[in-house]
């Protein structure tokens, strides 16, 4: 058993390291093939690095590249993550940022088009896929992710307002530097980036599950052996067709766990009625694995 756990842990480390490298390639393609030619700013710390690079190139005595700035801006955040989130998380986040910085610097820019709408859409889609893939495999891409996880761990609150304010600043900066149409193009890219990321990374999407079954103990035991979720049982329900006794089970899962729920139901009661409501809001404790 110990040998299996060591092999599984080694497999996870290799998968995360490979994902960090893939993310570095994807974000460099988005940056060098689309965002830079189209004068589009990304969201978060990447967008801030682009803004500072533009300002130092135009007005500063020293020109700092986006790749170098991306690493420099993340350094204090690595210290926060190391202290407040975890060493393993920080290591793979550092690896993802290093890979992206190296690939942005190394990959030769190719101007496929300068059309800002095309550049905003395709750059955001590629970056959103890379970011979602990284999050899905348990690593962060740095920047505001670290601040968000730290605040959520300490206070239980998200940083939605901070995120929106920061990205609004990036959008306004794009308008001030390149002209106001580019502010709208950058805003379009930020929205698409978020949508694609949500499509790939499904762990944060909550779903309420209602199960009507006449085998409540079997279903509860099977679900809880597949995933770590609390379940509320309502006894004494009655089927309207045959008037047989039923139990109703309620739980909340993430979209990421939907396949595990399906497997548990097929194993415990394939004839149960299962209803799933998407995008529910949670008040109270909802278990999320440590990064």
Q: Mean pLDDT for the chain?
A: 85
Do 271 and 144 share a domain, yes or no? no
Do 147 and 127 share a domain, yes or no? yes
E strands, the chain, in order:
206-213, 232-238, 245-254, 273-278
22 domain-assigned: yes
Using alpha carbons, select from 70, 83, 86, 84 the residue that is nearest to residue 16: 86
Do 185 and 234 share a domain, yes or no? no
Domain closes at, from 185, 200, 215: 200
272 domain-assigned: yes
Residue 270 sits in a domain of what CATH number? 3.30.70.120
How many structural domains are present in the chain? 2
Between CA 151 and CA 144 the distance in angstroms is 11
Tens of pLDDT, residues 37-82: 999 999 889 999 999 999 888 887 888 899 999 999 999 989 888 8
286 domain-assigned: no
283 domain-assigned: no
Tell me which residue range forms the domain holding 234: 206-278
**Alpha-carbon radius of gyration of the chain:** 23
Do 194 and 50 share a domain, yes or no? yes
Q: Which two tokens stand for residue 101?
A: 């910085």
Compute CA distances 175 → 39, 162, 208, whole Å: 10, 20, 41
Do 140 and 77 share a domain, yes or no? yes
Do 193 and 210 share a domain, yes or no? no
pLDDT of residue 15: 85
Instruction: Kindly report the pTM of this predicted structure.
Output: 0.74
Work out the pLDDT band at 141, boundaries 50, 70, 90.
Answer: confident
Q: At a CB cut-off of 8 Å and minimum separation 6, what does 64 contact?
A: 52, 53, 56, 72
pLDDT of residue 222: 92
How many CB atoms sit inside 10 A of residue 244's CB? 9
Do 226 and 264 share a domain, yes or no? yes
285 domain-assigned: no
Residues 18, 11, 146, 135, CA torsion sign: positive
pLDDT of residue 11: 74
pLDDT of residue 69: 93
Domain closes at, from 200, 232, 255: 200
Do 192 and 254 share a domain, yes or no? no
Per the CB < 8 A criterion, the answer to whether 222 and 270 are in contact is: no
Between CA 202 and CA 161 the distance in angstroms is 21
Per the CB < 8 A criterion, the answer to whether 166 and 44 are in contact is: yes
Between CA 144 and CA 69 the distance in angstroms is 15
Domain closes at, from 200, 217, 235: 200
Tens of pLDDT, residues 228-238: 888 999 998 98
Using alpha carbons, select from 168, 129, 156, 157 the residue that is nearest to residue 44: 168
Do 99 and 130 share a domain, yes or no? yes
- Find the range with the poorest average confidence among 21-25, 53-57, 101-105, 253-257: 253-257
Do 194 and 233 share a domain, yes or no? no
Tens of pLDDT, residues 180-194: 899 999 999 999 988
Q: At a CB cut-off of 8 Å and minimum separation 6, what does 112 contact?
A: 33, 34, 37
Between CA 160 and CA 149 the distance in angstroms is 12
Between CA 214 and CA 35 the distance in angstroms is 56
130 domain-assigned: yes
Do 45 and 134 share a domain, yes or no? yes
Do 263 and 182 share a domain, yes or no? no
pLDDT of residue 207: 84
Between CA 102 and CA 97 the distance in angstroms is 9
Work out the pLDDT band at 198, boundaries 50, 70, 90.
Answer: confident
122 domain-assigned: yes
- Find the range with the poorest average confidence among 42-51, 73-82, 167-176, 200-209: 200-209
38 domain-assigned: yes
- Residue 16 CA, distance from chain mean position: 14
């Amino acid at each position: 058993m110990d040998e299996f756990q060591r092999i599984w842990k080694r497999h996870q480390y290799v998968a995360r390291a490979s994902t960090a490298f893939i993310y570095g390639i994807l974000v460099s393609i988005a940056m060098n093939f689309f965002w830079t030619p189209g004068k589009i700013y990304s969201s978060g710390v990447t967008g801030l690095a682009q803004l500072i690079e533009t300002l130092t190139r135009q007005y500063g005595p020293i020109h700092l590249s986006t790749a170098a700035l991306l690493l420099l801006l993340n350094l204090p955040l690595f210290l926060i993550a190391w202290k407040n989130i975890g060493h393993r998380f920080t290591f793979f986040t550092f690896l993802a940022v290093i890979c992206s910085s190296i690939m942005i610097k190394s990959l030769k820019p190719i101007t496929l088009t300068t059309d800002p709408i095309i550049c905003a859409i395709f750059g955001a889609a590629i970056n959103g896929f890379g970011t979602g893939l990284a999050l899905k495999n348990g690593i962060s891409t740095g920047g505001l992710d670290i601040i968000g996880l730290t605040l959520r761990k300490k206070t239980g609150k998200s940083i939605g307002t901070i995120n929106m304010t920061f990205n609004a600043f990036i959008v306004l900066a794009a308008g001030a530097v390149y002209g106001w149409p580019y502010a709208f193009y950058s805003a379009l890219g930020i929205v698409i980036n978020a949508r694609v990321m949500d499509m790939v990374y499904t762990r944060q999407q909550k779903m309420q599950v209602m199960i009507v079954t006449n085998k409540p103990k079997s279903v509860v035991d099977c679900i809880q052996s597949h995933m770590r979720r609390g379940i509320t049982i309502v006894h004494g329900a009655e089927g309207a067709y045959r008037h047989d006794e039923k139990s109703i089970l309620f739980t909340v899962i993430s979209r990421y766990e939907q396949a595990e729920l399906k497997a548990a139901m097929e194993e415990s009661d394939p004839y149960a009625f299962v209803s799933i409501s998407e995008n529910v809001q949670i008040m109270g404790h909802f278990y999320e694995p440590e990064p």
